[in-house]
């Protein structure tokens, strides 16, 4: 104990090394933040070991023993990814009011999820999204496709998370981005393999507390320090937004400086808050399309839907959404505060171009907050990425082991074999995600938005019609899936084309109207319409499915 | 009265429960009282949700008008005279001040910043004593060199050189030395003050329009709890509304289930 105390005491001077004497915010290894990060990651693994999965039911659905508030926290933690923690402020920092379309899209979707799906999904009683699709549409092919889509979506979503983990590890350790992605990815993989979803769910509750605390504490300090209403920073930053619009002259807040020695001042910048500012390069159409796509994507994401299986009954599933949304909103009300203060603190061109994805941490750093608290913030960002990635890896490996291996390849597989296959699936996914994350494709939130549009075009229509219209049959589902898949493919082709510098036919038209972050605005309605038309033209859904829907899901 | 009429009309148009034995489920054709009530609740909440999100943004779009910042009006007037060769000292000063203001914007793109830097330096050269210009140019170059060498932006020599440039250039552009514009000017001067590249000359008016025209309306200009109202509505109030909608749905569903003795199975 004495030795530990001495070690901590000897590290204090290193930890307290503030960033006053630098010309840039990136730097070498940061001892204090690193210790906090290691402590939190160790805590996750410890909790994972203590609550590890004992069998497949535990692994997939946490034994269905989680309370409503606990499940709400798990929903929030599962949801509050690097895209929420880091990416949300990044979008508003770069594009102002346009970034709020992501805030609205990622919260408004829960209303749809609740009123249209949560209770019904729980009553349907399946473990995975592919399970539901396969059973509801009485098709092994659709189950397989559903599983593959769930895996692809999980991978697309997790790429952004690995990017966030890489950025934070890079910032803390002062190492190269690719190496940071590999180290961070290995730790999250080890944790998920050890624990499974039972550990994940327990862990998610702990993670939520860490995430939200680490996000909030610097906000109180920053708003207090820069003379805004600090008791409720989520309201107090309104004056900061207005200050950005009108500008702050040096004399107005004299004495207030950022950590690089610049005055707390900014020229009038109405483009930060005014809708669809021409300088942001974003339009009204894009705002609406993003909000809509993210909302329906929310209601179609496998790892989000899967969370409703871990509550005892449908009523709990419904109330857990309310709690989950409340816990999520605590973070979403706060993210714009970082963006607003970060905008003022980095307004001097001498600060240079900052990576928007790390603006949350940079804001705290520029605000001259104690490095240990900045470290806690970075650890919170990693924690947010970890919690979501764990859920995604579980959802993806469930699809791999349960929906592909057991239901299609080897129905006689023993639970032990099934667990082994699930773990193999997790490993494969982690490797693929790591490789893609190393190619810096887009902002974290934009990468995640791709997964949402994919889910909106494919899984959402199948769930919506599968639950609410018994007339939707196998042929309709397949046709809808094909249309949704084609729209997805076109959008992704043009995204890759743009990154690779190709000029594809009608390039401007498709990159604008089928933008990779919002192609579900048209893909989802087309998939739904196709499903309905083809279902009407083909045979009826089998009686046992219709009976099941009435007896189990709607009665 | 009118609202009640609309509501009645809406629910007349929507199909009502049909007792059936063919095990068909459709959201629009509920077969039980519970399903009917649930459907109506979902429709009400869905409409409220859609209007709150998309209705407000459409309203914002409909009533907005492009409004230029004061700096653009000043710039346009001065630039017109500069282009016509009729500019006075104060026109060059006004154009430079406006360009510096845009250079201070956080969203400015690097190529736009470079063009405005070129324009500002050139405008300064038009109002600065010609025989002292090369000395100022030397100071600007020295500052650039220092910037590469220093390990801290608080470096004494670096700060002194910045102050020196401000003391020389700011008065020439009629900018107060202790102001934000003076700070931006010190780091925003080009290595070659006397030449404005033709490409940049062509670009500058478009750049100024891009950064200085904004979509505004009474919803953006009304201040509520310190926020522009539309910002508060979208970033704060809408999220409260979402939680409220979810709470209402759960509460009403629980009440409905209790009333109809609807028991959910536990498995």
Q: What pLDDT is stored for residue B19 in this prediction?
A: 47
Q: B259 CB near a chain A CB, below 8 Å?
A: no
Q: What percent of chain B has pLDDT over 70?
A: 90
- Which one has a higher pLDDT value, A188 or A14? A188
Domain annotation covers residue B48:
yes
What does residue B109 show for φ and ψ, rounded to 5 degrees?
A: -80, 150
Q: A198 CB near a chain B CB, below 8 Å?
A: no
Contact A272, A26 (CB under 8 A): no
> Which range has the worst mean pLDDT, A48-62, A211-225, B130-144, B188-202?
A48-62
Residues B29 and B122 in one domain: no
Indicate if the alpha-carbon torsion angle A411, A412, A418, A420 is positive or negative. Answer: negative
Contact: A110, B242; criterion CB under 8 Å: yes
Listed by number, the residues of chain A in 457-476 with a beta carbon closer than 8 Å to a beta carbon of chain B are 468-471
Domain annotation covers residue B146:
no
Contact A449, A290 (CB under 8 A): yes
Domain annotation covers residue B8:
no
Q: What pLDDT is stored for residue A4 in this prediction?
A: 43
Helices (H), A26-99: 31-50, 56-61, 68-79, 82, 88-95
| Number of residues assigned to chain A | 555
Question: What is the radius of gyration, based on Cα positions, of chain A?
Answer: 24
- A411/B266 Cα distance (integer angstroms): 26
- A420/A288 Cα distance (integer angstroms): 44
pTM of the entire structure? 0.88
| Residue A1 clears pLDDT 50, i.e. is over it | no
- Comparing CB atoms, the residue among B231, B246, B267 nearest residue A241 is B231
The total number of structural domains that make up chain B: 2
Contact: B180, A267; criterion CB under 8 Å: yes
The residue among A228, A264, A255, A271 whose CA lies nearest residue A348 is A264
- A105/B27 Cα distance (integer angstroms): 24
Which residue, among A69, A71, A90, A108, would best test binding to B if mutated, counting the most B CBs under 10 Å from its CB? A108
Those residues with Cβ within 8 angstroms of residue B83's Cβ, 6 or more apart along the chain or in another chain: none
Q: What pLDDT is stored for residue A27 in this prediction?
A: 62
> Which range has the worst mean pLDDT, A271-275, A397-401, B211-215, B220-224?
A397-401
| Residue A9 clears pLDDT 70, i.e. is over it | no
Contact B191, B82 (CB under 8 A): no
- Comparing CB atoms, the residue among A23, A262, A292 nearest residue B151 is A23
How far away is chain A from the Cα of B202, in angstroms, using its nearest Cα? 18
Mean pLDDT of A485-508: 90
Domain annotation covers residue B5:
no
Mean pLDDT of B238-247: 96
Domain annotation covers residue B19:
yes
- Comparing CB atoms, the residue among B101, B107, B154 nearest residue A21 is B154
Residues B38 and B128 in one domain: no
Domain annotation covers residue B84:
yes
| Residue A107 clears pLDDT 80, i.e. is over it | yes
| Residue B265 clears pLDDT 60, i.e. is over it | no
Q: B158 CB near a chain A CB, below 8 Å?
A: no
Residues of chain B with Cβ-Cβ distance to A247 below 8 Å are 180
| Residue B62 clears pLDDT 80, i.e. is over it | yes
Residues B131 and B233 in one domain: no
Domain annotation covers residue B142:
no
Taking only the tens place, the pLDDT of each residue in A171-209 is 888 888 888 888 888 888 887 776 655 455 566 777 788
CA distances from B187 to A60, A338, A351, B165 (A): 58, 26, 11, 9
- B125/A383 Cα distance (integer angstroms): 54
> Which range has the worst mean pLDDT, A259-263, B61-65, B151-155, B219-223?
B151-155
Mean pLDDT of A437-448: 78
Contact: A266, B106; criterion CB under 8 Å: yes
Three-state SS at A547: helix
By the 10 Å C-beta count (0-12 exposed, 13-18 middle, 19+ buried), B126 is classed as buried
Q: What pLDDT is stored for residue A469 in this prediction?
A: 92
Contact: B57, A275; criterion CB under 8 Å: yes
Contact: A263, B183; criterion CB under 8 Å: yes
User: Among all chains, which residue has been given the structure tokens 């324009």?
Assistant: B119
Indicate if the alpha-carbon torsion angle A21, A25, A31, A32 is positive or negative. Answer: positive
Q: What pLDDT is stored for residue A380 in this prediction?
A: 87
| Number of residues assigned to chain B | 267
What is the DSSP track for A155-201? HHHHHHHHHHHHHHHHHHH---HHHHHHHHHHHHHHHHHHHHHHHHH
Q: A54 CB near a chain B CB, below 8 Å?
A: no
- The count of other CB atoms within 10 Å of the CB of residue A20 is 12
Contact: B236, A333; criterion CB under 8 Å: yes
Domain annotation covers residue B75:
yes
Report the chain B residue with the minimal C-alpha distance to residue A241.
B227
Q: What pLDDT is stored for residue B235 in this prediction?
A: 95
Residues of chain A with Cβ-Cβ distance to B184 below 8 Å are 267, 348-349
Burial A237-266 (b: 16+ CB within 10 A, else e): bbbbbbbbbebbbbeebeebbbbbebbbbb
The residue among A316, A327, A44, A429 whose CA lies nearest residue A201 is A44
Residue A547: pLDDT band by 50, 70, 90 thresholds?
confident
Give the per-residue SS3 of B9-73: HHHHHCCCCCCCCCCCCECCCCCCHHHHHHHHHHHHHHHHHHHHHHHHHHHHHHHCEEEECHHHH
Residues B81 and B175 in one domain: yes
Q: What pLDDT is stored for residue A258 in this prediction?
A: 86
Residues B125 and B243 in one domain: no
Residues B21 and B102 in one domain: no
- Highest CATH level, class, for A26-553: mainly alpha
Mean pLDDT of B59-66: 95
- A385/A165 Cα distance (integer angstroms): 6
Taking only the tens place, the pLDDT of each residue in A374-396 is 888 888 888 888 878 877 887 78
Mean pLDDT of A479-502: 91
User: Which residue range(s) make up the domain with B38?
Assistant: 14-64+224-259
Asked casually if ipTM beats, i.e. exceeds, 0.90, the reply is no
Chain mean pLDDT for chain B:
87
Taking only the tens place, the pLDDT of each residue in A393-440 is 877 887 788 778 887 788 888 888 888 888 888 888 889 888 888 877
- Which one has a higher pLDDT value, A437 or A325? A325
Mean pLDDT of A261-286: 91
> Which range has the worst mean pLDDT, A9-13, A65-69, A217-221, A359-363?
A9-13
| Residue A478 clears pLDDT 70, i.e. is over it | yes
Residues of chain A with Cβ-Cβ distance to B254 below 8 Å are 315
Taking only the tens place, the pLDDT of each residue in A30-42 is 888 888 888 877 7
- Comparing CB atoms, the residue among B26, B41, B243 nearest residue A322 is B243
Across-strand partners of A469?
B26
Residues of chain A with Cβ-Cβ distance to B157 below 8 Å are none
Across-strand partners of B228?
B223
Angle at A488 between CA A486 and CA A490, to 5 degrees: 70
> Which range has the worst mean pLDDT, A219-223, A227-231, B122-126, B149-153?
B149-153
Mean pLDDT of A120-138: 82
Residue A312: pLDDT band by 50, 70, 90 thresholds?
low
Which residue, among B38, B145, B239, B258, would best test binding to A if mutated, counting the most A CBs under 10 Å from its CB? B239
User: Among all chains, which residue has been given the structure tokens 């030795």?
Assistant: A3
Question: What is the radius of gyration, based on Cα positions, of chain B?
Answer: 31
Residues of chain A with Cβ-Cβ distance to B179 below 8 Å are 249-250
Residues B129 and B18 in one domain: no
> Which range has the worst mean pLDDT, A85-94, A251-260, A478-487, B6-15?
B6-15
The residue among B99, B121, B113 whose CA lies nearest residue B169 is B121
Q: B229 CB near a chain A CB, below 8 Å?
A: no
| Residue A49 clears pLDDT 90, i.e. is over it | no
Contact: B49, A111; criterion CB under 8 Å: yes
The residue among A208, A174, A161, A131 whose CA lies nearest residue A26 is A174
- The count of other CB atoms within 10 Å of the CB of residue B6 is 10
- Which one has a higher pLDDT value, B80 or B190? B80
Listed by number, the residues of chain B in 28-57 with a beta carbon closer than 8 Å to a beta carbon of chain A are 31-32, 34-35, 41-42, 45-46, 49, 53-54, 57
Residues B79 and B200 in one domain: yes
Those residues with Cβ within 8 angstroms of residue A162's Cβ, 6 or more apart along the chain or in another chain: A181, A184, A185, A385, A389, A433, A434, A436, A437
Q: What pLDDT is stored for residue A23 in this prediction?
A: 45
Report the chain A residue with the minimal C-alpha distance to residue B181.
A267
Q: A87 CB near a chain B CB, below 8 Å?
A: no
Residues B202 and B97 in one domain: yes
Q: What percent of chain B has pLDDT over 90?
A: 56
Residues B125 and B31 in one domain: no
Report the chain B residue with the minimal C-alpha distance to residue A263.
B180
Which residue, among B109, B143, B145, B250, would best test binding to A if mutated, counting the most A CBs under 10 Å from its CB? B250
Q: What pLDDT is stored for residue A437 in this prediction?
A: 84
| Residue B126 clears pLDDT 60, i.e. is over it | yes
What is the DSSP track for chain B? -HHHHHHHHHHHHS------SS---BTTS--SHHHHHHHHHHHHHHHHHHIIIIIHHHHHHHH-EEEE-HHHHHHHHHHHHHHHT---HHHHHHHHHHHHHHHT-TT--HHHHHHHHHHHHHHHHHHS-GGGHHHHHHHHHHHHHHHHH-S-TT-HHHHHHHHHHHHHHHHHTT--TTSHHHHHHHHS--S-SS---HHHHHHHHHHHHHHHEEEE-HHHHSEETTEEHHHHIIIIIHHHHHHHHHHHHHHHHHHHHHHTT-PPP--
| Residue A251 clears pLDDT 80, i.e. is over it | no
Chain mean pLDDT for chain A:
83
Q: A352 CB near a chain B CB, below 8 Å?
A: no
- A494/A552 Cα distance (integer angstroms): 43
How far away is chain A from the Cα of B210, in angstroms, using its nearest Cα? 5
Mean pLDDT of B97-126: 92
Residues B185 and B82 in one domain: yes
């Amino acid at each position: 104990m004495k030795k530990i105390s001495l070690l901590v005491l000897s590290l204090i001077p290193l930890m307290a090394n503030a960033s006053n004497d630098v010309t840039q915010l990136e730097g070498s290894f940061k001892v204090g933040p690193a210790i906090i990060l290691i402590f939190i990651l160790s805590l996750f693994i410890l909790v994972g070991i203590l609550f590890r999965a004992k069998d497949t039911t535990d692994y997939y659905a946490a034994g269905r023993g989680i309370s409503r508030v606990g499940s709400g926290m798990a929903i929030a933690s599962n949801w509050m990814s690097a895209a929420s923690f880091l990416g949300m402020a990044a979008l508003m920092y770069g594009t102002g009011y346009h970034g709020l379309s992501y805030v609205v899209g990622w919260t408004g979707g829960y209303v749809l999820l609740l009123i249209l799906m949560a209770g019904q999904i729980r009553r349907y009683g399946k473990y995975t999204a592919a399970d539901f699709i396969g059973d509801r549409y009485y098709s092994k092919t659709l189950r397989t496709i559903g599983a593959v889509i769930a895996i692809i979506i999980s991978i697309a979503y997790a790429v952004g998370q690995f990017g966030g983990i890489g950025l934070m590890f890079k910032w803390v350790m002062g190492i190269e981005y690719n190496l940071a992605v590999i180290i961070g990815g290995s730790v999250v993989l080890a944790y998920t393999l050890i624990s499974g979803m039972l550990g994940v769910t327990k862990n998610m509750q702990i993670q939520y507390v860490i995430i939200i605390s680490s996000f909030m504490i610097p906000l109180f300090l920053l708003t207090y320090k820069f003379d805004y209403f600090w008791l409720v920073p989520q309201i107090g930053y309104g004056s900061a937004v207005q200050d950005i619009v009108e500008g702050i002259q040096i004399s107005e807040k004299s004495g207030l400086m950022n950590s690089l020695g610049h005055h707390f001042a900014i020229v009038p910048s109405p483009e930060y808050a005014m809708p669809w500012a021409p300088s942001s390069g974003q339009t009204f159409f894009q705002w609406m399309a993003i909000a809509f796509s993210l909302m329906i994507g929310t209601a179609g994401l496998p790892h989000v839907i899967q969370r409703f299986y871990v509550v005892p009954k449908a009523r709990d599933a419904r109330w857990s959404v309310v709690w989950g949304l409340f816990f999520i909103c605590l973070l979403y009300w706060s993210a714009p505060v970082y963006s607003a203060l970060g905008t003022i603190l980095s307004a001097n061109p001498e600060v240079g171009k900052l990576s928007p994805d790390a603006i949350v941490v940079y804001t705290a750093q520029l605000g001259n907050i104690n490095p240990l608290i900045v470290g806690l913030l970075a650890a919170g960002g990693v924690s947010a990425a970890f919690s979501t990635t764990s859920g995604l890896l579980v959802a993806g490996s469930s699809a791999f082991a349960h929906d592909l291996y057991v239901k299609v390849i080897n129905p006689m597989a023993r639970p032990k074999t099934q667990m082994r296959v699930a773990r193999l699936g997790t490993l494969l996914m982690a490797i693929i995600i790591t490789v893609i994350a190393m190619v810096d494709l887009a902002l974290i939130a934009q990468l995640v938005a791709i997964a949402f549009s994919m889910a909106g075009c494919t899984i959402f229509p199948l769930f919506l019609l599968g639950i609410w219209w018994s007339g939707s049959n196998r042929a309709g589902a397949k046709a809808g899936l094909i249309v949704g898949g084609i729209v997805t493919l076109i959008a992704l082709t043009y995204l890759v084309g743009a990154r690779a510098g190709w000029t594809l036919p009608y390039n401007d038209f498709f990159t604008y109207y089928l933008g990779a972050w919002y192609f579900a605005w048209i893909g989802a309605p087309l998939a739904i319409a196709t499903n309905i038309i083809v279902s009407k033209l083909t045979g009826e859904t089998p009686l046992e499915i219709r009976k099941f829907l009435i007896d189990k899901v709607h009665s | 009265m009118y609202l009640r009429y609309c509501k009645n009309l809406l629910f007349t148009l929507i199909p009502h429960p049909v007792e059936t034995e063919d095990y068909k489920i459709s959201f629009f054709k509920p077969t039980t009282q519970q399903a009917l009530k649930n459907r109506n609740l979902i429709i009400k909440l869905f409409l409220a949700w859609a209007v709150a999100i998309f209705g407000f943004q459409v309203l914002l779009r409909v009533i907005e008008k492009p409004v230029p910042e004061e700096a653009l009006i000043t710039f346009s007037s001065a630039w017109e005279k500069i282009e016509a060769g009729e500019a006075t000292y104060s026109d060059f000063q006004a154009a430079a001040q406006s360009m510096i203001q845009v250079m201070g914007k956080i969203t400015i793109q690097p190529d736009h910043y470079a063009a405005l830097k070129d324009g500002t330096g050139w405008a300064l050269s038009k109002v600065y004593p010609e025989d002292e210009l090369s000395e100022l140019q030397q100071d600007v170059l020295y500052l650039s060199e220092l910037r590469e060498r220093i390990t801290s932006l608080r470096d004494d020599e670096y700060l002194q050189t910045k102050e020196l440039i401000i003391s020389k250039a700011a008065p020439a552009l009629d900018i107060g030395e202790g102001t934000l514009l003076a700070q931006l000017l010190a780091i925003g001067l080009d290595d070659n003050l006397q030449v404005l590249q033709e490409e940049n000359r062509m670009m500058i008016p478009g750049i100024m329009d891009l950064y200085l025209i904004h979509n505004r309306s009474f919803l953006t200009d009304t201040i509520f709890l310190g926020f522009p109202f539309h910002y508060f509505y979208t970033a704060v109030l809408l999220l409260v509304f979402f939680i409220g909608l979810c709470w209402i749905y759960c509460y009403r569903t629980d009440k409905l289930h209790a009333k109809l003795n609807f028991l959910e199975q536990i498995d």
